A and B are shown apart, each in its own frame.
Chain A
Amino acid sequence: MRKWIGATAAVSALALVTACSSEGASDGPSDGDGGGNGETVTLEFAQWWEPELPEGVLRGLMDDFEEANPGIEVELLSGPYASTREQVVAGAASGTMSDVVGLDGAWVSDFVDQGSIADLTALMSDAGYDDGELASQVQLGGSTYMIPVVNFAYMLFTNDGLLAEAGVDAAPSTRSEFEAAAIAVSESDENTSGWILPLSLETPNGIQNDVMSWAWASGGSMLTDDGAPDVNNADVQSAVDFVVGLDEAGAVAPGAATLKEQDKVEEFSSGRVGMMISSLAHINTLRESSPDLDFSLHAVPAEDGYSGERGTPYASWGIGVAENSENKEEAWKLVEFLMSADANGELANAANAFPGNSTAVPEFVTQDEIFQSAFDVWNEGYPANEFVGLPVAEQLMRDMAEELQRVLNGDISVEDALTATQTKWESQF
Chain B
Amino acid sequence: MTHPPETTEARAAAPLATAPASAGSGDGGTDNGADKTRGGWRGRRSYRGTVAPYGFLTPTFVLLLVLMVTPITMVIGYSFVDRVIINPNSEFVGFENYAQVLGDPVFFKAVSNTAIFAGASVIAHFVLGMGFALMLNSPMIGNRLKAVYRAIYILPWLFTVAIVAVLWRMLLSPNGIVNFFVTELGFAEEQIAWLSDPSLALPAITFINIWAGYPFFMVSLLAGLQGISSELYEAARLDRAGPVKQFFNVTLPQLKPIIISMALLDFIWTTQQFALIWMTTGGGPIDATEMVSTYTYKLAFSTYDFAVASASAVIIFLLSMTLAFFYVRHQKSRD
A residues with a Cβ closer than 8 A to B are: 2, 5-6, 9-10, 12-13, 16-17, 20, 85-86, 89, 93, 110, 113-115, 191, 200-204, 253-259, 263, 267, 272, 392, 394-395, 398, 401-402, 405-406, 409, 411, 428
B55 engages A89 (CB within 8 Å):
no
A89 engages B301 (CB within 8 Å):
yes
Please measure, in the bound complex, the distance between the C-alpha atom of A203 and the C-alpha atom of B85, giving whole angstroms.
Answer: 24
Given A16-B59, A202-B279, A255-B173, A409:B286 Cβ within 8 A: yes
Given A6-B55, A13-B58, A202-B278, A258:B285 Cβ within 8 A: yes
Give 16 pairs: A residue, B residue, CB < 8 Å, sorted on A: A6-B48, A6-B52, A89-B301, A110-B86, A114-B304, A191-B175, A201-B283, A202-B279, A203-B282, A257-B195, A257-B281, A257-B284, A257-B286, A258-B201, A259-B196, A401-B284
Chain B positions within 8 Å of A255 at CB level: 173-174, 193, 195-196
Given A5-B56, A89-B301, A402:B175 Cβ within 8 A: no
Chain A positions within 8 Å of B119 at CB level: none
Contact of A12 among B59, B197, B198 (CB under 8 A): B59
Please measure, in the bound complex, the distance between the C-alpha atom of A393 and the C-alpha atom of B303, giving whole angstroms.
Answer: 9
Contact of B58 among A10, A20, A85, A257 (CB under 8 A): A10
Please measure, in the bound complex, the distance between the C-alpha atom of A392 and the C-alpha atom of B281, giving whole angstroms.
Answer: 21
Please tell me the number of chain B residues within 8 Å of chain A, measured between CB atoms: 41
A272 CB to nearest chain B CB (Å): 6
Given A12-B59, A114-B85, A402-B286, A394:B52 Cβ within 8 A: no
A10 engages B174 (CB within 8 Å):
no
Is B23 part of the contact surface with A, judged by Cβ < 8 Å?
Answer: no
Please measure, in the bound complex, the distance between the C-alpha atom of A406 and the C-alpha atom of B174, giving whole angstroms.
Answer: 19
Nearest residue (CB) in A for B85 is A93
Contact of A115 among B59, B88, B196, B286 (CB under 8 A): B88
B302 engages A258 (CB within 8 Å):
no
Please measure, in the bound complex, the distance between the C-alpha atom of A203 and the C-alpha atom of B287, giving whole angstroms.
Answer: 15
B282 engages A9 (CB within 8 Å):
no
Of A254, A255, A394, A398, chain B has the most CB atoms within 10 Å of the CB of A255
A46 CB to nearest chain B CB (Å): 16
A258 engages B195 (CB within 8 Å):
yes
Is B66 part of the contact surface with A, judged by Cβ < 8 Å?
Answer: yes
B49 CB to nearest chain A CB (Å): 10
A258 engages B280 (CB within 8 Å):
yes
Chain B positions within 8 Å of A392 at CB level: 302-304
Nearest residue (CB) in A for B282 is A202
Given A93-B306, A200-B284, A201-B283, A257:B55 Cβ within 8 A: no
Nearest residue (CB) in B for A202 is B282
Is B140 part of the contact surface with A, judged by Cβ < 8 Å?
Answer: no
Chain A positions within 8 Å of B244 at CB level: none
Chain B positions within 8 Å of A259 at CB level: 196
A257 engages B175 (CB within 8 Å):
no
Please measure, in the bound complex, the distance between the C-alpha atom of A31 and the C-alpha atom of B198, giving whole angstroms.
Answer: 52
Given A110-B86, A258-B195, A395:B59 Cβ within 8 A: no
Overall SS of chain A's interface? helix
Question: When each residue 62-98 of chain B gets 1 if its CB lies under 8 Å from chain A and 0 otherwise, what string results?
Answer: 1100100000000000000000011110000000000
Chain A positions within 8 Å of B150 at CB level: none
A159 CB to nearest chain B CB (Å): 16
Nearest residue (CB) in B for A203 is B282
Please measure, in the bound complex, the distance between the C-alpha atom of A85 and the C-alpha atom of B300, giving whole angstroms.
Answer: 13
A412 CB to nearest chain B CB (Å): 10
A89 CB to nearest chain B CB (Å): 6
| Interface residue ranges of B268-309 to A (CB < 8 Å) | 278-287, 298, 301-304, 306
Nearest residue (CB) in B for A259 is B196
Question: When each residue 301-321 of chain B gets 1 if its CB lies under 8 Å from chain A and 0 otherwise, what string results?
Answer: 111101000000000000000
Chain A positions within 8 Å of B285 at CB level: 201, 257-258, 405, 409
Is B191 part of the contact surface with A, judged by Cβ < 8 Å?
Answer: yes
Nearest residue (CB) in A for B192 is A254
Nearest residue (CB) in B for A10 is B55
B52 engages A16 (CB within 8 Å):
no
Please measure, in the bound complex, the distance between the C-alpha atom of A10 and the C-alpha atom of B279, giving whole angstroms.
Answer: 44
Known pairs A255-B196, A402-B286; list 17 more (Cβ under 8 Å). Answer: A2-B52, A6-B52, A9-B59, A10-B55, A13-B62, A93-B306, A113-B86, A114-B86, A201-B282, A201-B284, A202-B279, A202-B281, A254-B191, A258-B280, A392-B302, A405-B284, A406-B286
A258 engages B281 (CB within 8 Å):
yes
A257 engages B302 (CB within 8 Å):
no
Nearest residue (CB) in B for A20 is B66
Question: When each residue 50-62 of chain B gets 1 if its CB lies under 8 Å from chain A and 0 otherwise, what string results?
Answer: 0110011011001
Chain A positions within 8 Å of B303 at CB level: 392, 395, 428
B304 engages A110 (CB within 8 Å):
yes
A204 CB to nearest chain B CB (Å): 8
Please measure, in the bound complex, the distance between the C-alpha atom of A202 and the C-alpha atom of B298, giving whole angstroms.
Answer: 9
Question: When each residue 183-218 of chain B gets 1 if its CB lies under 8 Å from chain A and 0 otherwise, what string results?
Answer: 000000001010111100100000000000000000
Nearest residue (CB) in A for B277 is A202
Please measure, in the bound complex, the distance between the C-alpha atom of A257 and the C-alpha atom of B48, giving whole angstroms.
Answer: 66
Please measure, in the bound complex, the distance between the C-alpha atom of A401 and the C-alpha atom of B286, giving whole angstroms.
Answer: 8
